[in-house]
């Protein structure tokens, strides 16, 4: 499911200059994932929620985005509750529910949801390709950027191809996801994709050479910032400041 499905809506977050937005996203995600004090965690979560509200992304969309991390948490939290060690809150025979486990579980859950909400708010409001282009102004090396952009482009092609390969395999009776019985067929799909991609990469390289590629990736796009972008960035910086203050005091 594409994160940028609603990248063409209108909202203050959508309108924010992509460069500032991507930079703010990274900083806020890193800080929000790093705090552990109750105040900072609450502020981070609250801020993330505010961001998503401001972005006017459809509620259903945001809920769907949260499904994946919540599923992981659903798996992890019970394990954590019963294996964390230390003081036990409740016990049934040899099964202990640990206080430390409960606290950690809550902390992890809040952090995970916060980060994913931030992710939705920031990256759900611009196209992936635009975000990648913004990285150029953020001083990401051109070679790495080119690799990121081309990889993204060809992922979609191979997703399509894999779909067809899996269908063909299914029609021949291979259920590749049911256990390990059809490992050979699975390996076959992998080999097909890899060999095709190897051959295609050669042709793509040729196509690039034929259009004059010599190692650099000159680009045209210039982002223009305006006053609103600067305001947004100041707000984001203030938010980071608040989080750090709450964490360190």
Partner 1 sequence: MHISEGVLDSRVIIGGYAAAAGLTALALSRVRQEEIPKIAVMGAAFFVSSLLHFKVGVTSVHLSLAGLVGIVLGLPSVLALLAGLLFQAVMFQHGGLSTLGVNTVIFAVPALLACLLYSGLGRLAGGRRVVRSLIAGAASALAVLVGAAIVLAVLRLSGEELTGIAYLFSLAHAALALVEGVVGFVVVQQILRVKPEMIPAGLLRRRS
Partner 2 sequence: MSRRGPRIPDRGERLPVAGAGILVARALRFGYPEGPEVIHEVDFSLGAGERVALVGSNGSGKTTLLLLLCGVLGPNGGRMEVGGRRLEAGSFDPRVAYLFQSPEDQLFSPTVFDDVAFGPLNMGLPAEEVRSRVAEALRTVGAEPLAERSPHHLSGGEKRLAALATILAMSPEVMLLDEPTSNLDSRNRRQVLGVLGRTSQTLLVTSHDLEFLLELCSRVLLLHDGRLVADGPIRSVLSDDALLEAHGLEKPHSLIPHRHSGAPPHRA
- Judged by the rule CB under 8 A, the positions of this chain that interact with partner 2 are 129, 132-133, 149-150, 152-154, 156-157, 160, 200, 203-204, 206-214, 218-220
Cα–Cα distance for residue pair 104/110, rounded to 1 Å: 10
Q: Considering the complex, what minimum distance in angstroms separates the CB of residue 231 from partner 2? A: 27
Residue (110 or 246) nearer to partner 1, CB: 110
| Residue 1 near which of partner 1, partner 2, none (CB within 5-8 Å, type-dependent) | partner 1
| Residue 212 near which of partner 2, partner 1, none (CB within 5-8 Å, type-dependent) | partner 2
| Residue 220 near which of partner 1, partner 2, none (CB within 5-8 Å, type-dependent) | partner 2
C-alpha 117: how far from its chain's center?
Answer: 10
Residue (46 or 141) nearer to partner 1, CB: 141
Cα–Cα distance for residue pair 23/131, rounded to 1 Å: 10
Residue with tokens 């945001």: 62
Residue (68 or 89) nearer to partner 1, CB: 68
| Residue 129 near which of partner 1, partner 2, none (CB within 5-8 Å, type-dependent) | partner 2
Cα–Cα distance for residue pair 17/225, rounded to 1 Å: 6
Of 112, 115, 107, give the one whose Cα is nearest residue 48: 115
| Residue 211 near which of partner 1, partner 2, none (CB within 5-8 Å, type-dependent) | partner 2
Cα–Cα distance for residue pair 152/133, rounded to 1 Å: 13
Q: Considering the complex, what minimum distance in angstroms separates the CB of residue 20 from partner 1? A: 17
Inter-axis angle of helices 18-34 and 99-123, to 10 degrees? 180
Residue 93 DSSP symbol? T
């Amino acid at each position: 499911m594409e994160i940028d499905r609603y990248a063409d809506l209108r909202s203050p977050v959508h309108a924010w200059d992509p460069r500032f937005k991507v930079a703010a996203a990274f900083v806020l995600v890193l800080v929000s994932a790093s705090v552990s004090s109750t105040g900072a965690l609450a502020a981070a979560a609250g801020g993330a929620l505010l961001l998503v509200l401001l972005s006017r992304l459809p509620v259903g969309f945001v809920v769907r985005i949260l499904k994946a991390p919540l599923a992981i948490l659903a798996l992890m939290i019970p394990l954590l509750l019963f294996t964390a060690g230390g003081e036990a809150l409740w016990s049934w025979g040899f099964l202990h529910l640990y206080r430390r486990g409960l606290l950690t579980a809550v902390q992890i859950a809040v952090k995970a949801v916060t980060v994913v909400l931030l992710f939705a708010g920031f990256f759900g409001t611009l196209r992936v390709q635009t975000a990648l282009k913004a990285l150029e102004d953020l001083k990401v090396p051109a070679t790495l950027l080119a690799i990121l952009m081309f990889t993204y482009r060809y992922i979609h092609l191979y997703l399509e191809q894999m779909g067809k390969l899996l269908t063909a395999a299914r029609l021949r009776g291979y259920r590749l996801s049911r256990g390990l019985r059809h490992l050979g067929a699975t390996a076959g799909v992998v080999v097909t994709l890899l060999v095709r991609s190897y051959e295609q990469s050669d042709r793509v390289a040729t196509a690039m050479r034929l259009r004059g590629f010599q190692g650099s990736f000159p680009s045209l796009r210039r982002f223009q910032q305006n006053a609103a972008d600067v305001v947004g960035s100041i707000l984001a910086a203030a938010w980071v400041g608040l989080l750090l203050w709450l964490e360190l005091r």
